[in-house]
Structure 1
Amino acid sequence: MDELQLYLDEAKDLMNKALQHVGHELTKIRAGKANPSMLDGIQVSYYGAMTPLNQVSSLTTPDARTIFIKPWEKGLIGEIEKAIQNANLGLNPQNDGQQVIINIPMLTEERRKQLVKQVGHECEHGKVSVRNIRKETNEDLKKVKGVSEDDVKNAEEQVQKLTDDFIQRIDALMKKKEAEIMTV
């Protein structure tokens, strides 16, 4: 029984990681509001090494449509602007000599629909991950020696309950993000 519980715990842990990954990916999809996490994947050349933007500057959102990026060193302003443009996020950085300013444009209806599709794709990837974890866990459970078929069946039912729970959580994330995107 302990070995079965280990597999169940591992499955829950992996499903949790899949859910967190989906949540993280959804924060990168902009919903029309300025959010520093929109710039999470951006790397800046800093003394010859590629460094995450948030490690060479402070990012603030003074209002819902603007992000201020204040680099620790003024010489980085050009590098930051270039990195943001190269990231193809559809953002147009400007600078005032002290900091980089990004104005977030209003989303068009067409763009909102594209973003909702993108949210759907990310969530579907998460669901596939959860289902794959279920499949692998069930296969592992069947290989456990020295336990009754009933115990294995019960463990598989628990795996299915976990799967259903995590898929519901992903659906909830999806609904919340879609509502966020479609709100003007």
Structure 2
Amino acid sequence: MSKLIYYVAASMDGYIATQQHKLDWLENFTLGDDSTPYDDFYQTIGAVIMGAETYSWIMSNAPNDWPYQNVPAFVMTSRDLPVPLGLNITLLQGDAGAIATKAKQAAKGKDVWLVGGGKTAAYFAEAGELQQLFITTIPVFLGAGVAVLPVSDNVSVTPKVQRILQSGAMECVSDVKRN
């Protein structure tokens, strides 16, 4: 059965980007060979969901290099955002349950990667639609920024895998408990 997985890197103080939505702190960090290979994770993915800010960041920073060309992408937005021709990108808004169901159907038995951002992940977590967190914590403090999961109510998790990598980063895979 498909799972909705929030796979993300975060600072030690719980941010996925700076206040200016910059990722230089992450881009300048080398994980090393003992981290879970991105390609291994991505092979389990059949669809992606992201918020409008994440989508806009990707389009601004890699306009000709859409990283999810081989899977359907669902972008949560109330705005009319430009979508390049030839890409399988659907702009939508509404109920988290209906969107999760649509994405899981499109994933055809594979998992759905909730790419980000934090507010979008929190929306699905609060609706009980997020099944797993895969957070790689980078050993840096940002002091402020975009929160990893800014929920308005408690979200309980059960850690399944915790590893400290040679680089000093920590990988933690946790199942989200239904409240």
For the pair shown, which has the larger CA radius of gyration, 1 or 2? Answer: 1
Greater fraction helix: 1
TM-score (norm 1): 0.21
TM-score (norm 2): 0.22
Q: Which has the higher contact order (CA 8 A, sep 6+)?
A: 2
Greater fraction strand: 2
